[in-house]
A and B are shown apart, each in its own frame.
Chain A
Amino acid sequence: MQNNAIIEVRHLKKDYLVGNEIVHALRGVDLSIYPGDFVAIMGASGSGKSTMLNILGCLDKPTEGDYILEGINVKSLNKNQLAEIRNLKLGFVFQSYNLLPRTSALENVELPLLYNPVIKAKERRARAEAALESVGLADRMNHLSNQLSGGQQQRVAIARSIVNDPVIILADEATGNLDSHTSYEIMALFQELNSQGITIAFVTHEPDIAAFTSRNVLFRDGVIIKDSLTQNHMSAREALKAMALETHPEG
């Protein structure tokens, strides 16, 4: 079962030098992620989950250990090759959306493709439109980012993360800035994308959000202390319906 893993992490260690003190953010992590996984990476702050995500996102390099992404050992790559990997294989969703201000949803979604010289303008536009349609924003394509609500902005960000057909989406507290109703909507969208076969790694510290994923990985003090499949994980759609019933019992 190890052979078909998208991501294989072996004995990963990461040390930071803070002042004169060495901080061991990761102390030997082993983790495999398979196609179609929807992994919640959980843990308190300081547990190493953000460091883990940065390394998985090829934004940072481990001090020790190996990180193999689709058969490529990331350790051996230089800065530019890492940027290329990020452009072609990874999708990012951030807590604060990070959309370009005063720029249309469509242009925001096109952005990753602009850094890919192979893709022509026509294809870029078509793929961005398709991505926006799949997150349910077909009618908002030309809205500027500041004209959209928080939930809609995060949808644009998700569309941006899937536009390059990544092997995995890395989401960092993607619901952290949203109210619970909108959070559930976003989780419903993630579940939908996951059911279409997209692999997602989702960092969160909220157990109720993690409940929507299919696998939970718990970090504490730089090591994984629990890695379990969620039995009968909740559907975000159902949760939304239940929530609607609670607020309007007569409906």
Chain B
Amino acid sequence: MNIINLIKIALNAMKRNKFRAFLTMLGVIIGVASVIAMLSIGQGSKESIREQISSMGTNMVIIHPGQEKRGGVSMGNTSSQSLEGRDLEAIMDNCPSISAVSPEVNNAGQVVFGANNCPTTIFGGNENYTYIKKIEVENGHMFTTQEIKSAAKVCLIGQTVVDNLFGEGADPVGQTIRFKKIPFKIIGVLEEKGQNTFGQDQDDLLLAPYTTVQKRITATTYFRTILASAISEEAVETATTEIEEALRISHRLRDSDENDFNIRTQQELVTTFSSVSDLMLVLLGAIATISLIVGGIGIMNIMYVSVTERTREIGLRMAIGGKSKYILMQFLCESILLSITGGMIGIALGIGTSSIVKNVMGWPTIVTTDSILLSFLFCSFIGIFFGWYPARKAAALDPINALRHE
């Protein structure tokens, strides 16, 4: 008996009971569709967090100063004033895995233009700042090294500040605004980035040369943080080690001393924030899997009914020469066909649902090949597993009794 005849026999049997076959498949269809849809939602939200975090910078490594203790009293985690200009040079000179470095200083205050004013934060960086933080200059240009050296009173402004001071759609380049009474000439507008994952408005800022902020506003020489960009995503880890070494030397730490700085990477942020969505993914997957198992039990149930109902047919098949193993294979084949056909319809439905969720509800969804492959394999397994016992029952029938069955 070849496999084509077997599939033909099973298909004919299914054709005779189209509606029942469909109802039986429904369990698997819904199960698979929900696995695909759920996983795509989970995967989508995970991916969107990853994307948002990576949009915060280019392979970014963030160096915070360590905590300072004054007379045994901790001043807080990033309180020390240990990061300075020479650290910047140390990193640039000794870390081949780093492509760009920028200091970051900031200060909160009121910005004023004409009769309008609003609270905002001024950030100071060097010419690499926009590259490292993945900010585009939409209109105008970034400040130059010359302007940094001379602590020029120029700035770029975020979209929120533009809206607050100039009204929506206005072009503020060339105007002068005041931040803490210091006049700044606007040389560019930063591209809108919207809120970040943590709900912060990323467009509510002024960006100026760090020298200007240090000398004219905060009157300090240390940096709040140093931002660095690794040459590639893979190089981030090496870069971290290199920076650690460079800074320990630059800070003249002895082997027994602890680091007086902390290094964090974007990857760490991704890991931290995606742990929640990982959990969600597992939960959604588990619920969907349960529905798939319920679908499988549905197949088993129908196959049992089918065997009882078709006892005479089985008897006939045996009488005209169907060996027990062919009967077993026929019923197994039927349940596998049911579950695989159901699985395919379910995959299509799942992909459809996920695109509806994406387009109508605006949730990010990603259908992965893994989830399709997984549910397909699971379906075949369900077909075999839940079809086995009914098929065994059919194959074990005695042809004489089966033919007499009413």
Contact A59/B320 with A102-B16, A107-B12 known, Cβ cut-off 8 Å:
no
Q: Assess whether B400 is in contact with A114, with CB atoms less than 8 Å apart.
A: no
Of the candidates B15, B316, B320, the one having the most CB atoms from chain A within 10 angstroms of its own CB is B320
List the A side residues contacting B315 at CB < 8 Å.
Answer: 98
**Residues of the B chain whose Cβ atoms lie less than 8 Å from the Cβ of A86:** 319-321
- Shortest Cβ distance from residue A21 to the other chain B in the assembled complex, whole angstroms: 19
| Interface bin, chain A | 20 to 34
Q: A114-B5, A114-B8, A117-B1 are in contact. Are A83 and B16 (CB under 8 A)?
A: no
Judge if A238 is at the interface, Cβ distance under 8 Å. Answer: no
Does B312 sit at the interface, judged by CB under 8 A?
Answer: yes
In the complex, what distance in Å separates the CA atom of A88 from the CA atom of B318? 13
Bound CA span A87–B320, Å = 5
Inter-chain contact A83/B312, CB cutoff 8 Å: no
Complex contact A60–B400 (CB within 8 A): yes
Number of interface residues of B (CB under 8 A): 25
A155 within 8 A of B: no
Asked whether B399 is an interface residue with its Cβ less than 8 Å from the other chain, the reply is yes
Contact of B321 among A83, A96, A98, A107 (CB under 8 A): A83
Q: Is A130 an interface position by the 8 A CB rule?
A: no
| Bound CA span A60–B398, Å | 9
Q: How far, in whole Å, are A9 and B305 apart by their CA atoms in the complex?
A: 40
Min CB gap B284→A, angstroms: 41
B313 at the interface (CB under 8 A from A): yes
B349 within 8 Å of A by Cβ?
no
Contact between B322 and A115, CB atoms less than 8 A apart: yes
Q: Is A127 close to B, CB under 8 A?
A: no
B403: which A residues are within 8 A, CB to CB? 94, 98
A244 CB–B CB distance under 8 Å: no
A195 within 8 A of B: no
A112, B12: Cβ atoms under 8 Å? no
Assembly CA distance A94 to B403 (angstroms): 9
CA distance A98 to B321 in the complex (A): 15
In B383-406, which residues have CB < 8 Å from any A CB? 399-400, 403
Within 8 A of A (CB), among B302-332: 312-313, 315-326
Q: What separation, in Å, do the CA atoms of A241 and B323 have in the docked complex?
A: 44
Give the distance to chain B from A177, nearest Cβ to Cβ, in Å: 14
Q: How far apart sit A117 and B322, CA to CA, in the bound complex (Å)?
A: 11
Please report which residues of chain A, range 58-95, place their CB below 8 angstroms from some CB of chain B when the two chains form the complex. 59-60, 79-80, 83-84, 86-88, 92, 94
- Which residues on B sit within 8 Å (CB–CB) of A80? 323-325
Instruction: Indicate with 1 or 0, residue by residue over A13-37, a CB within 8 angstroms of chain B CB atoms.
Output: 0000000000000000000000000
A100-B313, A103-B16, A114-B8 given; A59·B321 CB < 8 A? no
Chain B residues within 8 Å of A111, by CB = 317, 320
Contact B12 A103 (CB under 8 A): yes
With both chains docked as a complex, state the minimum distance between the C-beta of A19 and any C-beta of chain B, in angstroms: 17
A116 neighbours in B (Cβ, 8 Å) = 321
Taken together as a complex, chains A and B put the C-alpha atoms of A111 and B240 apart, in Å, by: 73
Q: Chain B: which residue is nearest A160 at the CB level?
A: B320
- Shortest CB distance B11–A (Å): 11
Residue from the list A79, A92, A115 in contact with B1, Cβ < 8 A: A115
Please tell me if the beta carbons of A83 and B400 are within 8 angstroms of each other in the complex.
no
Chain A positions within 8 Å of B1 at CB level: 114-115, 117
B146 contacts chain A at the CB level, 8 A cutoff: no
By a CB distance below 8 angstroms, the chain B residues around A59 are 318-319, 399-400
**Is B9 positioned at the interface, with any CB of A under 8 Å from its CB?**
yes
**Chain B residue nearest to A144 in the complex (CB):** B16
For residue B272, CB closer than 8 A to chain A, the reply is no
Q: At the interface, yes or no: B2 with Cβ under 8 Å from chain A?
A: yes
In the assembled complex, A197 has its CB within 8 A of some CB on chain B: no
- Bound complex: CA A68 to CA B146 (Å): 112
> Is A235 close to B, CB under 8 A?
no
Does A182 sit within 8 A of B, measured CB to CB? no
Q: Given A107-B12, A114-B9, are A83 and B318 neighbors across the interface (CB < 8 Å)? A: yes
Residues of A within 8 A of B5 (CB): 114-115, 117
Give the CA-CA distance A111 to B399 in the complex, in Å.
16
Q: Of A84, A86, A117, A164, which is in contact with the most chain B CB atoms at under 10 Å from its CB?
A: A86
A102 / chain B contacts, CB cutoff of 8 Å: 15-16
Q: Does A101 contact B (CB under 8 A)?
A: yes
Q: Is the CB of A57 within 8 A of B16?
A: no
- Residues of A contacting B399 in the complex (Cβ-Cβ under 8 angstroms): 59
Taking the complex as formed, is A134 at the interface, i.e. its CB lies under 8 A from any CB of chain B? no
B319 touches A57 (CB 8 A): yes
Residues in B with CB closer than 8 Å to A103 are: 12, 16
A165 to B42, CA, bound (A): 63
Beyond the given pairs A83-B318, A117-B5, 7 more chain A to chain B contacts, judged by CB atoms under 8 angstroms and listed by A's residue number, are A80-B325, A84-B321, A92-B320, A100-B316, A111-B317, A114-B8, A117-B2
Task: Please list the 6 inter-chain residue pairs (A to B) with the smallest Cβ-Cβ separation, ordered nearest first.
Answer: A87-B321, A112-B320, A83-B323, A102-B16, A98-B316, A115-B321
Binding site for B on A (CB under 8 A): 54, 57, 59-60, 79-80, 83-84, 86-88, 92, 94, 96, 98, 100-103, 107, 111-112, 114-117, 160, 164
> Can you sample 20 A-B contacts with CB below 8 Å?
A79-B323, A80-B323, A83-B322, A84-B323, A86-B319, A86-B320, A92-B319, A92-B320, A98-B315, A100-B316, A102-B15, A111-B317, A111-B320, A112-B320, A114-B1, A115-B317, A116-B321, A117-B2, A160-B320, A164-B321
